[in-house]
Amino acid sequence: MTVQIGDRLPSATLTRATDDGPKPVSTDEVFKGRTVALFAVPGAFTPTCSARHLPGFKEAQETLKEKGVDAIACVSVNDAFVMGAWADSQGVGKDDILMLGDGNGDFTRALGLSMDAKGYGMGERSQRYSMLVRDGVVEQLNIEQPGEYKVSSAEHLLAQL
């Protein structure tokens, strides 16, 4: 079943790239007591994700924070090394956007937001979405139709605040 507005996010362990190597981080650690703008992409370094989705949240980070967002987090079914390299290539600082690897797709599946990208040689991946999460509870949820990039953008999420 797909996560809905009003649902509490499932407990899961994601991974961040750090200077000391990959570091596990729990969803409780990321979302508890904070307002987080979370967005997910099908894959780091993929065209729309690199040209529009991540850059849009990077550009909107100050405005999001002015509107009460404590943190911005990006999730992808990639490992922490890939997420770290993608952040570096996009000029995203470690404190700007939390780049969270969901390497095995456990969090994505628990949300009910996985998709089959085997036809593209990518295996199981995340659907493209954005959500506003307040203290672990989904307040806004914007899931894209396959191949689209509209409602998951930073601009769309900003309009919802």
Length of the chain: 161
Could you give the CA distance from residue 2 to residue 41 in angstroms, rounded to a whole number? 16
Cβ proximity of 25 and 14 under 8 Å: yes
49 is annotated as an active-site residue: yes
Cβ proximity of 70 and 35 under 8 Å: yes
Element (H, E) at 18: strand 13-18
Q: Which pair of structure tokens corresponds to residue 101? A: 């690897």
Given 3-state DSSP classes, what are the helix, strand and coil percentages for the chain, each rounded to the nearest 5?
30, 30, 40
CB atoms within 10 A of CB 112: 14
**Residue tagged active-site, from 12, 37, 41, 49:** 49
Q: Which of 20, 14, 19 is nearest to 103 (CA)?
A: 14
Helix/strand/coil for 89? helix
Just list the catalytic residues: 49
